[in-house]
Chains A and B, each alone.
Chain A
């Protein structure tokens, strides 16, 4: 009986294991290998050791992308979390009509970031777009080197707030009303309640969202591709855009792989550090 059960277990996990081995683990190892080669799309391949890493550092492309991605993350993640929380506190009051709003605000999350990026490109057009026409101004939102990255971050925030608010709504729903009742009897105002009770009690939700949103924003690609393509002057060239440009436009697969390897290591570090940082702070058990 026992060997048969083992065989059955292995048979059931076999397809998924083959998939993970061939299409996740092998590619990661291959990326590491290719990063040591001068490798182009036509098939030329020469071993160059760490040359790809050295040249990426020397010409500033890597540092630029890391900086752009970091700024994008710092602009978009804290703001979308804060706005998502505010929206959630209003939605959970469950006033008549709020059920409709709850559905509306999640719509952008099911839409392709690529398509949304194209729509916002049209809205942002300097002379014919809806935004400038509405405001009666002529601002180059996506081609001005200082405005482009904030504009991209704005669209990312716009897409994510409703989705983030879903998690906060669920988190708020788990806080018992009796705690609020007690606070009210003790004379706590709404802002004191928010600061000293709601936000600390939501820490597990915030922790989860912070990690997943930071990790996601380090991988952003589609939306940037549609909005700016990485320009102007590489000011919005996030890490994923750099990988794409190096590989499929400049035909430097080795350099692209080196960027990918660094991104992967960075994400592992970010996840571990965030895990440490959040778990070292007090969490409240509400079960």
Chain B
């Protein structure tokens, strides 16, 4: 009995060691980013990166938020871009997924197969031709260029939603149809509420993906007007490569909103990701 207890204590100790190491290693870079951003450039030059800011200063953040090519415009652009893409993707993906799951029309299965096949197309492959197409259309360095390729729905979202919609009993929908409900009302009053968990998951995934997207916004925009927050962070790194307090204020601002989102929606994120097999 005693031996058993000792072994269990040892086992728990080992587990806690692994968990502690994982937590510390994960948090260390964020801590460095935040601490550096709160340090004055003078203190950083004198004492190096491992000292607590004394006193903490918001100097870097106020520089970043007040200067002309600062972070106010990129934050506004990113918020608008994510909002437009989010609404478009969810609405058009729900419509298409419902049709694929519950309506019969000629060509449906072939079309769905094409959608699934496009899941294999990586962003890197389409970035050059998309650049040519949107430049040709005169949309380079505009808001529309940021959202247009993504706003009409995503094959991935459609695939996931269809799987979920198929599990709904069609008797329920037939009953509602007999009551004379139109398709849009049916979707809004029945399909969407019944599938809330997967839709919330998709909303989170879409926000994270497009808030963080970098290659396309960098390629299609130029100058500070339509820069997203990742492009602005990258520009900050190349412009002020020795001014690390300012650069770390930028990375902190770029990461903070999603970290907060993650903490607020931790249950949905940790549960849904492991369960549905996302991304």
Contacts and interface: CB of A to CB of B under 8 A. Distances in A.
A210 interface: no
Interface residues of B, number: 88
Contact of A115 (B127, B130, B254): B254
Contacts of A20: 114-115, 118, 152-153, 155
Interface in A87-102: 87, 90-91, 93, 95, 97-98, 100-102
A128 B48 contact: yes
Contact of B104 (A5, A133, A263): A5
B122 A15 contact: no
Contacts, number: 278
Given A87-B18, A107-B262, A19 B211 contact: no
A27 B216 CA distance: 14
B208 to A, nearest CB: 5
B103 A114 contact: no
Main secondary structure of the interface of B (DSSP, over half): helix
A222 B215 contact: yes
Nearest to B14: A90
A95 to B, nearest CB: 6
A268 interface: yes
B128 interface: yes
B277 to A, nearest CB: 6
Given A34-B129, A166-B274, A119 B33 contact: yes
Interface string B239-268: 000001001101100110011011100100
A129 B103 contact: no
A205 B43 CA distance: 49
Nearest to B123: A219
Interface string B146-187: 001111110100100000000000000000000000010000
B279 A212 contact: yes
Q: Quick one: which of B111, B130, B270 has the most chain A CB within 10 A?
A: B270
A152 interface: no
Interface stretch (A6-14, A56-64, A142-150, A179-187): A6-14
Interface string A144-181: 00000000000000100111001101110000000000
A87 to B, nearest CB: 6
A162 B234 contact: no
A121 B237 contact: yes
A222 B230 CA distance: 10
Interface residues of A, number: 94
Given A93-B15, A119-B29, A27 B133 contact: yes
A247 interface: yes
B113 to A, nearest CB: 12
Main secondary structure of the interface of A (DSSP, over half): helix
A108 B26 contact: yes
Interface string B94-127: 0110111001111010010011001011111111
B36 interface: yes
Nearest to B153: A16
A263 B125 contact: yes
A112 B23 contact: no
B200 interface: no
A226 B234 contact: yes
Nearest to B24: A104
B212 interface: yes
Nearest to B31: A130
Nearest to B274: A170
Given A34-B129, A243-B127, A264 B103 contact: no
B249 to A, nearest CB: 11
A48 B208 CA distance: 41
Contacts of B98: 12
B130 A23 contact: yes
A188 to B, nearest CB: 15
A240 interface: yes
B206 interface: no
The 4 A-B residue pairs with the shortest CB-CB distance in the complex, in nearest-first order = A19-B152, A170-B274, A9-B105, A16-B153
27 contacts: A7-B105, A8-B99, A23-B126, A23-B148, A23-B150, A28-B121, A30-B132, A90-B15, A103-B270, A110-B212, A110-B262, A111-B212, A111-B255, A112-B230, A114-B234, A115-B233, A119-B29, A134-B50, A158-B26, A162-B26, A166-B274, A169-B274, A221-B124, A221-B215, A244-B127, A253-B128, A263-B124
Given A115-B230, A122-B244, A267-B122, 10 more contacts: A8-B183, A13-B100, A16-B115, A22-B152, A28-B121, A34-B129, A98-B15, A107-B26, A114-B212, A115-B233
Interface of B: 12, 15-16, 18-19, 22-23, 25-27, 29-30, 32-33, 36, 48-50, 92-93, 95-96, 98-100, 103-106, 108, 111, 114-115, 118, 120-133, 148-153, 155, 158, 183, 208, 211-212, 214-215, 219, 229-230, 233-234, 237, 244, 247-248, 250-251, 254-255, 258-259, 261-263, 266, 269-270, 273-275, 277, 279
